[in-house]
Each structure stands twice: as C-alpha cells, then as structure tokens.
Amino acid sequence: MMNSLNLYKYASPATFYDLAGRMIPWFYAAAALLGVAGLYIGFFLAPTDFQQSEAYRIIFIHVPASWMSMFIYVVMAIWAAIGLAFNTRLSFMMASALAPTGAMLTFVALWTGALWGRPTWGAWWVWDARLTSELILFFLYVGFMALQAAIDDPRRADRAGALIALVGVVNVPIIYFSVRWWNTLHQGASVSVSKAPSMASIMLAGMLVMAIAVWMYAIAAALSRVRSIILERERNSQWVAQLLEGKA
Amino acid sequence: MNWNGWTEFFHMGGYALYVWGSYGVTAALIIGELVLLRMRRQKALQLAKRSVKYGKVESDESTA
Amino acid sequence: MSMLQTVLALLRRELTLAMRRRGDVLTVLFFFVIVASLFPLGVGPDAKLLRLMGGGVVWVAALLAAMLSLGRLFANDYADGTLEQLVLSPAPPVVWITGKILAHWLVSGVPLILMAPVLGVQYGLSSEALGVLVFSLLLGTPVLSLIGAVGAALTLGLRGGGVLVSLLVLPLYIPVLIFGAGAVDGAMAGLGAEAHLSLLGSILILAFLLTPWAVSAALRISIE
C-alpha cells in the first residue's frame, strides 16, 4: 500500500510541477545529443542508396516523426483513460499537453513524406495508405484540440477531450485497415517486427536513434507545456503564490 | 565519409531542395514550438503574479 | 417498463415531434439531392466519368446530409430541459439513447436511402449497382447516426457546435465511406460487393454495441 501512496503524491499538481521542472533539462539534453548522433549516422555513415541516391536520407526524420505521431496519440488516449478512471486532473492536463506536439509531428511526417514522394514517386501528394492514415490522424489531433478550445469550463473540456481521444484511438486501427484496404502504394513496411529489416542495418540504426531523440523531445516539450497548464489552472492557489515569492 | 567537401554535402546529389526542405521545415517547427512554449510559460507566470498582486489567492489548499 | 417499451415510447415521442416539424426532414433530403447534383455541373456531363464517380458522390452527399441533422439530436431537448429529465430517469441511459439514435436514423437516414436510387440513376449506375448502393446505405447510415451522436453529445450547447461536430465526426466516418462507396464500385466493376458489405455490417454491429456507452458518458460530461 505504501508504494501506491507515494505514487499518488506525484498526482498532485504541486509536487509534479517540481518533479517535471527537474526532469525537463535532462530530456532536452538527451534529445539534442541523440539527434546529433542520429543525423551524423544518417548523413555521414549511411551509404548512398543505389536506387534513390541521396533523397532517401529524408527517412531519418520522416519515419521517426510518423512513428512518434501515432505513439503520442496512443499515450494521449492512455492519459485520458487514466484521468477518466481515477479522476486525477493531472492526467487530463498531460493529455492536453501532448496534443500540440503530436499534431506538429504528424504535420512533419506529412511534409517530409510529400518532399520524399516528389523525387521518388514524382508527385507531391500520393493517396497512399500510410500517408492518408497520417492525414486522418492529423484531423483527429485537430479535432481534439478544437473541442478542448471550444469549452470554457476546464473540467468539462478535460473530460470531453478525453472521451474523443478514446473514441479516436479505438477508430485508428479501423481507419488504418480500411485505408490500407482501399489503396496501398507505399513501399512494403521495410521495418516490420515480423521480417528482418530489408534496409542496411546502419540505416536502421540511424532511424532508431532519431526515433528515440524525437521521443525525448516530445517528453520534454509535453512536460514543459504541462507545467504551464498547471500554472494557468492553479494560479489562485497557495503553493503558486509561495513559488512566485521564492522566484521573485 | 560520403562527402568530399561541404559544397557536395549541401548539393546532396541534386536533391538539396527535398532533403534540406524537409530538415529545414522540421527544424523551424521544433524551434517554433520551443518559442511558443517559452511564451506560454511567461504568460502563465504573469497571470499567477497578477492574481497574487490582487490578493485573489485562496487561503486554504486549492480545491480539486 | 421493459427496455423495449422504453425504446418504443421514446421512438413514438421523437417521431411525433419530427412529424410536427416536417420541414427539417425535407431540408436534409433536398440538401442531399442538391449536393449530389452539383458534381456533374462541376465535373462535366461525360457519362462514363459520372458512372465511375456515382457511388462515391452519392455516399459523400449522404454522409454530409446525415451530419447536417446531427445538431437536432439533443439540442432541442437540452434547451428545454427534457434531456436532464431523461438522464435522471430510472431507465438505463443506453436504452433511451439507442431509442433517440434510432429515431434520428428513421428521420434522417431512411429518406436518404429512399432517395439514393433516384440520384444513382442520374449518374447512370446499373440496376445491380443501385441495389448495392441502397443496401450499403441501409447498413451505413445507422452507423453515421450512432457515431454522430457521440459528436453531438460532446458539443452540446457549445457556440459553433455545428462546425465542431463535423471536425470531430468526419474522420470517424471514413471507414464507412470507404466500404460503402467501395461496395458500389465493386458492383459496377462486376467484382461483387460482398466483401465491402460484410465489413460494413461488422462496423454497424460494433458501432451499435459500443457507441451508446460513449454517448451516455458524453452526455454525463456535457450535462454536469
């Protein structure tokens, strides 16, 4: 029982505010380091691709961004579910804090996908299964943020956003399946869990390092945004006043 | 090392527009988000200061 | 009051209300016809092209028309307080919500199904394709009402709620659109539409079982 007790200690915004404050620099540092390492691998160690020569190097940002955009949406739905189940305001704040970063990464995935498609498939936008699902995922993010923005009362905004995030996450596999059924042009999943990656391992290494770098960045960005949300919502409370005295 | 010299590196085998277009926009978006985060934090702190100044701070621990 | 009686009672109420304002039903229907007729004006009268597009256009128009009438699902009851009485009533929320969604489907979905063949003929669809179109709409439009009810419940009483519902709900309609329009294309191309229709049927069952829970949760969130 003791363990879960102090877990709940971090559910109170005040304690979490300090904890997040201490963690954020580490995550930004990890993101920067891994990012530099990943780009170094991607541009200097990875050989020229025989088919697409240099254009394929966009993969080192396109794939990590699309992985992370889907991963963040699932994490957002998990925080939403925890919030609805345990009625902890902080979980809702985490979900709202993740959405903008997820939407930005989805846009990055779409933008880099288009720029990569132009030289390789000859068109800026191709109605391919994975790009289309990414576009729909972008609409889901925008829908979540628009709904939260349209509701003034924070309590209702949190819960309404949480519900649409959960309804969305249930639909993501169905949408992905139906879009794939509808059309598939994208190269086969070159990195799928089942078969061995059909790319040189050095390329895979670069991509994985970049994926972790983007993950660290997403955590850092979400944590700093959640601190701002906590401040905005708790600005009339005692601990914020003390905090400001300490800072001022 | 793939490249001999920076000019070849930036030429990127003729795909400079696409490769640097992708990385450039990604870098711009990330920097943009960091700036937005910073601005939001300043505004939140300002709001908190204002509520302290106008004595709107509740005496007990804030309700859930 | 058994569950079925609750649903029937609510259905009777909703249908009488709808019949009093018959205009709403017709506006949705005419919107459907107008949107479906705009495409040939925009794309040109080439029969071969229209035949290819027919299924997709009629389905998109049906989807937009169904979404147009979502606002009415809870808005009037929310305004005059009946929604609170319904939420407080002893009947389990899932039951009367299903009743309300069923009534909405009867008022807004069924007219679209009846009108669709007329538009299909306009696009030169073969008779077999028309049959598949009607059947796919029969399976698809209830799903539009079910999923749409979640959006309507979440945006209850919000300013600009109408636009917001479309933003929330359209991405969730996409599988229904793909399988519905795909069924008609399958029939036109002679490949047969069984696969699409069976998938559409499974989505309908999934939606019918899950969505009422989501709607009751959404209503509890919006009403508090």
CA distance C70 to chain A (A): 16
Contact B3 A44 (CB under 8 A): yes
Give a three-class secondary structure readout of A26-55: HHHHHHHHHHHHHHHHHHHHCCCECCCECH
Q: Do chains C and B touch (3 or more CB pairs under 8 A)?
A: no
Using the Cβ of B28 and the Cβ atoms of chain A, whether some distance falls under 8 Å is answered with no
pLDDT at residue C191, rounded to an integer:
80
ipTM: 0.89
A187 pLDDT tier (thresholds 50, 70, 90):
very low
Helices A59-86, A201-233: inter-axial angle, 10-degree rounding = 40
Give contacts of A 83-112 with C, CB under 8 A: 84
Q: How far is CA B51 from CA A138, A154, A240, B23, B61, in A?
A: 37, 18, 10, 42, 15
Nearest Cα of chain C lies from the Cα of A135 at a distance, in angstroms, of: 10
| Chains in contact with chain B (at least 3 beta-carbon pairs closer than 8 A) | A
CA–CA distance, C116 with C130 (Å, rounded to integer): 8
| Predicted structure pTM score | 0.90
Task: Give me the residues of chain C with pLDDT under 70, please.
Answer: 1
pLDDT in tens, C96-119: 899 999 999 999 899 999 999 999
Tally: H helices and E strands in chain C: 10, 0
Quote the tokens at residue A248: 């001022």
Q: What SS3 state is found at A123?
A: coil
User: Hey, which chains touch C, using 3+ CB pairs under 8 Å?
Assistant: A
- Residues of B within 8 A of A247 (CB-CB) are 45
> Is the Cβ pair A54, B19 closer than 8 Å?
yes
Q: What is the mean pLDDT of residues A55-81?
A: 93
C192-211: pLDDT as tens digits: 889 899 999 999 999 999 99
Q: pLDDT per residue over A104-133, tens digit each?
A: 999 999 999 999 888 888 888 888 788 888
- Rounded CA-CA distance A57/A36 in Å is 15
**What type of residue is B50?**
R
Q: What is the pLDDT of residue C116?
A: 94
**CA angle at C161 for the pair A139 and A100, rounded to the nearest 5°:** 35
User: Which of A15, A58, A63 should one mutate to test binding to chain B, selecting the residue with the greatest count of B CBs within 10 A?
Assistant: A58
Q: Which domain holds residue C135?
A: 2-223
Please determine, for residue A24, whether its predicted confidence score (pLDDT) is greater than 70: yes
Residue B43 CB partners (closer than 8 Å, separation 6+): A228
Q: A231, A233, A243: which to substitute to probe chain B, counting the most B Cβ within 10 Å?
A: A231
Q: How many CB atoms lie within 10 A of CB B38?
A: 12
Query: End-to-end alpha-carbon separation of chain A, Å?
Result: 39
At least 3 CB pairs under 8 A between chains A and C? yes
Q: How many structural domains comprise chain C?
A: 1
- In the prediction, which pLDDT does A129 show? 82
CB of A165 within 8 Å of a chain C CB? The answer is no
Burial C153-165 (b: 16+ CB within 10 A, else e): bbbbebeebeebb
Mutate which of C167, C173, C194 to test chain A, going by most A C-beta atoms within 10 A? Answer: C167
Residue B62 DSSP class: P
pLDDT level of residue A165 (50, 70, 90 thresholds): very high
Distance from CA of A49 to the nearest CA of C (A): 36
A216 lies within 8 A of chain C by CB? no
